[in-house]
Amino acid sequence: MDMFEPVTIDTKRLRLRPLQQEDASIFFEVWSDPEAMRYFSFLPMQNMEQAHARVVEKLQSLGDGNSMICVIELLDTKEVLGDCTLFGGVAHSQRAEIGFCLRRRYWGNGYMAEAADALIEHGFNHAGLRRIEADVDPRNLSSIQLLERLGFKREGYLRERWMIGGEALDTVLYGLLRSDRYQV
């Protein structure tokens, strides 16, 4: 049984909708931006073909039902801001990971907090999740602060977990339980 089905979620300012192939050109702006990609698990992209290939790969990964990729749009203009994703779902453990990216011009406006909060709500109340995890570069203070504002707790530190561009990088693990958010 699939953990996640494609959905559209509206918030006060945003719409979270399923990823589409034509979104690749917008995401190339993020995925090719060295500042936006500074803490990602892959190097900035060099050409549009890489973005198209990544979107195709992401769309194919949806077939297993263990991930949910939501494109974030402004509700009034439909301009794409970034994405917020639940992925790596494990049905028998009722858990998944959360990840997100945002076009740099939209940083600092609270959009990701609004989008992530809505996706977390959906994960806990509609997808049956018990736990949501995040894997963050310890230098990525903005993402860490966002996760902590959303109620995530720091649970671990893994040294040299990732190899990116020939550099061994550490990671910080965060977790959020349904019971942290909703008193059961």
Q: How far is CA 118 from CA 61, 132, 155, 183, in A?
A: 22, 13, 23, 18
Q: Over pLDDT 70: what percentage of the chain?
A: 98
pLDDT digit string, tens, across residues 117-159: 999 999 999 999 999 999 999 999 999 999 999 999 999 999 9
In contact, 64 and 4? CB cutoff 8 Å: no
CA-to-CA distance for 90 and 94, rounded, in angstroms?
Answer: 6
Q: Which two tokens stand for residue 64?
A: 């297993």
Q: What superfamily in CATH does domain 9-132 come from?
A: Gcn5-related N-acetyltransferase (GNAT) (3.40.630.30)
Both tokens assigned to 135: 């894997």
User: What angle, 0 to 180 degrees and rounded to 10, lies between the N-to-C axes of helices 24-31 and 48-61?
Assistant: 110
Residues 48-69: tens digit of each pLDDT: 999 999 999 989 888 888 899 9
Arithmetic mean of pLDDT over the chain: 93
Instruction: Place 1 in a pLDDT band, splitting at 50, 70 and 90.
Output: low
- Pair 80, 69: CB distance under 8 Å: no
